[in-house]
Amino acid sequence: MQVEALPSAVRSAVQSHRCGGRRTGLVPTMGALHVGHVSLLDAARSECDFVIATIFVNPMQFGPHEDFERYPRTLEQDLQRCEAAGVDLVFTPETSRMYAPGAESIVSLTGLTRKLEGRHRPGHFDGVTTVVAKLFNITVPDRAYFGQKDYQQQLIIRRMASDLDWGVEIVTCPIVREDDGLALSSRNRYLSPAEREKSLSLSRALSLAQDLAQSGSESPDSIARRMQQLISGVEGIDPDYAVVVDCDTLDPLVDRPKRAVALIAVRIGKTRLIDNQILRFR
Ligand code: PAF
């Protein structure tokens, strides 16, 4: 497995592998890899000839009071996980190389990024789209893999790739959960045992939402209210939102649709957690 810190080295490796229709797969990450990330690497490995993982804790997507400084950095273990998953090349750039002095270009979307997460984390998605655009330019992937856990992020990256004619196929892989339902996240390690117990209310609220959608009697709005009640009833949870919205636009739903997405974001102590589920209505 090749490990490179310079974009020029990644570019030449990609060029030398890009022959005879060989497909390049990209898995962008911020490191602290867990089984959810491994599922993305596995999908890329099974569908592509040359697999690139990137590990970069992107300062541009963290707000001033967010967890950039304490975000877990576990490079040695991450490289072992990449090697075990059969990754061909890992790109681990320095911040000073990704954001050179004098850099002033930002990739910014004007609609999807203003909703939900965008309201609670101003500027976050500009950081995500700018870094992902740079990673697409450096690695020129045929396919790029993202987790459904960051539902709004994958939607925004799809929009960006299509709007800017990148010709990269965006693949969204299912959420990986612990046995008790907690969606895997690098931030779960911040949770105390008591907070971890409370965090199960997210997946419980989403299961309730799915049951209610299936029951055929509740509107998207009343399902959202039931999720909000469940979450607000847990002491120590501070909800940012719990909504049921259109899967593509994230807009509120007027009628009862065939499918929708339930999205939740909460703060538990100092940790912010998000989760979601596609709902199928009867
Ligand atoms: O999902 C993440 O880990 C990050 O937002 C990403 C896509 C790697 C960009 O920094």
**What are the pocket residues of ligand 1 if the criterion is a CB atom closer than 6 Å to any ligand atom?**
28-30, 58, 61, 128, 131-132, 150, 153
Distance 50 CA to ligand 1 centre (A): 20
Q: Whose CA is nearest to atom 1 of ligand 1?
A: 29
Mean pLDDT by 10 residues, the chain (282 residues): 98 88 96 98 98 98 96 98 98 97 97 98 98 98 98 98 98 98 97 98 98 94 98 97 98 93 98 98 92
| Most informative mutation of 37, 58, 107, 187 for ligand 1 (most atoms within 8 A of CB) | 58
Atom of ligand 1 nearest to the CA of 58: 10
CA 105 from chain center: how many Å? 23
Distance 71 CA to ligand 1 centre (A): 13
C-alpha to C-alpha distance for 267 and 240, rounded to whole angstroms: 7
Task: Identify the pLDDT of residue 50.
Answer: 97
Atom of ligand 1 nearest to the CA of 54: 8
* DSSP secondary structure letter of residue 187: G
Q: Which entry of 37, 65, 120, 124 is annotated as an active-site residue? A: 37
Q: Whose CA is nearest to atom 9 of ligand 1?
A: 128
Distance 277 CA to ligand 1 centre (A): 20
Task: Identify the pLDDT of residue 134.
Answer: 98
Instruction: Report the chain's terminal Cα–Cα distance, integer Å.
Output: 48
Distance 54 CA to ligand 1 centre (A): 9
Q: Whose CA is nearest to atom 6 of ligand 1?
A: 29
**Contacts of residue 56, Cβ cutoff 8 Å, sequence gap at least 6:** 28, 29, 30, 31, 91, 92, 93, 95, 98, 131, 135
C-alpha to C-alpha distance for 208 and 197, rounded to whole angstroms: 17
Task: Identify the pLDDT of residue 18.
Answer: 83
Task: Identify the pLDDT of residue 9.
Answer: 97
Q: What domains are there in the chain, each with its CATH number?
A: 2-173 (3.40.50.620), 186-277 (3.30.1300.10)
Task: Identify the pLDDT of residue 84.
Answer: 98
Atom of ligand 1 nearest to the CA of 132: 9
**Contacts of residue 273, Cβ cutoff 8 Å, sequence gap at least 6:** 183, 185, 187, 188, 199, 202, 265, 266, 267
Task: Identify the pLDDT of residue 256.
Answer: 86
The interaxial angle of helices 151-163 and 124-139, nearest 10 deg, is 50
Task: Identify the pLDDT of residue 255.
Answer: 86
State yes or no: is 17 an active-site residue: no
Q: Whose CA is nearest to atom 5 of ligand 1?
A: 128
C-alpha to C-alpha distance for 55 and 119, rounded to whole angstroms: 26
